Structures are given as structure tokens and as C-alpha cells.
Amino acid sequence: MPDSVESALHCTWLLAQQPATALPARRLAEFHGLPQAYLSKILKLLTRADVLRAVPGTGGGYRLARDPEQITVLDILTAVQGDGPMFRCRELRQRGPVPLPVEACRRPCGIAAVMHRAEQAWRQELAATTLADLHGHAATASIGRARRWLEALPTANG
């Protein structure tokens, strides 16, 4: 899984700490120690998927497009990674010096079957977990760190 998914999850988690507040890409990049150009691409993907909303103007930036209870981890993963399967069977049984014939490979092998079941269970768990849930399970130190940083940011008027 690409690093962009982790970056997207952390940024949306931070935005969920103050859902009505917009933060510029540069501030999100600063908080996570990421290059702004890299993060801007991820934020645009999240905006296209209606996870984030771009807010123009002086107090602008990015904020959640919906309540944290309405955004799942799967929404974020899909926005960044797409909805294609994580495991793609390359049908290795039909390669090498002793390949199986096509007719012997009409059903998925045990490896493909277990990987597909695992992915289905994984996606179900991600779909059942919201940004609000992530906040509820976050360590007190993480929440405190985010709050201290957010409170120290200058306001749009100041």
C-alpha cells in the first residue's frame, strides 16, 4: 500500500479534530513533515472524492466535506488508491517449466481464494471504521499534540 494512504489518513484525522476549520495544504504538510507538493496531490484526490472540501480565500484551505462520523477509512483509501483489488492473481500456475493447462485453472487457487477473503474482511473493517472512531481510539498524547498545534495557529483575522 502506498505511503499516500497513510498521509491521507493522518491529514483527515487532523482535520477531524476541528471539522469546521479549514487548514491550508502548507500547514497540513508542516504538521506531518511532508513535502507540500506531494500532499497537495493527495488533498486534491480527497476533494474529488468528496472527503474534503477546498475552501478559497484568506481563511481557506481544506476541511472535511462531511461529519467525521460519515467518512470511513475505506472512503479515504478509495479516494487515494482507487477501488481496484489489492491482490491481483497473475495465474502463476500457468507459467514455468510445468504449467497447468487453462482448463485446470478455471477456479481460483487456494492462494488467490484466501487473499480475496482477507481483502473482503479488510475492506469490511475499513468501511465500518469512521474518522470519529479513529479519534475515539487515538492516544491521549496524539490528541493533545494536535490540539496544542491547532490552538497555536494564527486565525484568519490575526
Helix (H) or strand (E) holding 53: strand 52-55
Mean pLDDT, residues 28-45 = 95
pLDDT value at residue 155: 63
Tens-digit pLDDT profile for residues 4-19: 999 999 999 999 988 8
- pLDDT, averaged across the chain: 91
pTM of the shown model: 0.85
- Residue 156 predicted with pLDDT over 60: no
Which residues contact residue 76 at a Cβ distance below 8 angstroms, ignoring those fewer than 6 apart?
5, 8, 9, 12, 46, 51
Of 17, 3, 56, nearest to 147 by C-alpha is 17
Euclidean distance between CA atoms 76 and 8, whole angstroms? 7
- Residue 47 predicted with pLDDT over 60: yes
* Pairing outcome for strands 52-55 and 61-64: antiparallel
Q: What residue ranges define each of the domains in the chain, with the CATH number in brackets? A: 3-152 (1.10.10.10)
Tens-digit pLDDT profile for residues 79-119: 999 988 888 888 898 999 998 999 998 998 999 999 999 99
